[in-house]
């Protein structure tokens, strides 16, 4: 397992929501961890890849599970985001990827109360703004959004991008919730005025 050095944050910084993103793969599984303070303040914590040199499938899945558990126990994320898997041209590859994803999901659900899923299209649209973005474009945007000094590997970039996607999703939901509350308050005030009440 390869880990990148975690960022050092000031002690006075308020507690953020910590998100771990997972890019599942049978040979290489990427992970990326960020802290979300608000919709514009996302900070890099750590990222890396889990590699398995095992030839037997059960042992590879075990490596993914145990290594990911180690990462989760070390960084204690509040929630997780993992890529959905769809059937592609090669059903056998899809099946193997699904098993790697399953091993990762089992690890995530051991210690993390919330696990969310996003498609590759949602990932690219959220991070790059274009559903057919290349791996290089993903790496570049992740580096820019998290103010990284180095370009992350493709697997780590996708995992960090998955965490960013969930952070953006939270911001959108909070915006919708705030807009709904504001609209409801306006409607209530208008109805009260029509009825001659003082608000």
CB-based contact 68:147 (threshold 8 Å) = no
Known catalytic residue at 155: yes
Of these residues, 23, 35, 63, 158, which one is catalytic?
23
Q: What are phi and psi of 172, to 5 degrees?
A: -65, -45
**Structure tokens given for 172:** 């959108």
Query: 63-106: per-residue pLDDT in tens?
Result: 999 999 999 999 999 999 999 987 777 888 889 999 999 999 99
83 is catalytic: yes
pLDDT of amino acid 176? 47
Nearest to residue 147, comparing CAs of 31, 48, 11, 35? Answer: 35
Residue 158 annotated in active site? no
pLDDT value for 191: 53
Strands 28-38 and 79-83: unpaired
Indicate the pLDDT class of residue 10, thresholds 50, 70 and 90. Answer: low
Question: Would the pLDDT of 108 be above 60?
Answer: yes
Distance (Å, rounded) from C-alpha 14 to C-alpha 9?
A: 10
17-23/79-83 β-pairing: parallel
Catalytic residue among 41, 117, 140, 155: 155
pLDDT in tens, 34-69: 999 987 799 999 999 999 888 899 999 999 999 999
């Amino acid at each position: 397992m390869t880990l990148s050095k975690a960022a050092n944050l000031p002690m006075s910084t308020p507690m953020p929501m910590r998100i771990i993103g997972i890019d599942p793969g049978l040979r290489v599984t990427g992970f990326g961890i960020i802290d979300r303070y608000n919709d514009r303040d996302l900070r890099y914590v750590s990222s890396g890849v889990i590699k398995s040199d095992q030839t037997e499938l059960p042992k590879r899945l075990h490596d993914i599970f145990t290594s990911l558990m180690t990462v989760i126990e070390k960084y204690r994320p509040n929630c997780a985001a993992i890529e959905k898997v769809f059937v592609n041209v090669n059903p056998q590859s899809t099946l193997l990827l699904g098993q790697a994803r399953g091993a990762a999901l089992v690890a995530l659900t051991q210690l993390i109360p919330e696990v969310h899923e996003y498609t590759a299209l949602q990932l690219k649209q959220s991070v790059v703004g274009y559903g057919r973005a290349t791996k290089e474009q993903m790496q570049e945007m992740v580096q820019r959004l998290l103010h990284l000094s180095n370009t992350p590997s493709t697997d780590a970039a996708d995992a960090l991008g998955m965490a960013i996607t969930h952070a953006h999703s939270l911001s959108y939901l909070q915006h919708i919730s705030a807009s709904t509350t504001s609209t409801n308050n306006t409607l209530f005030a208008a109805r009260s005025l029509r009825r001659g009440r003082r608000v």
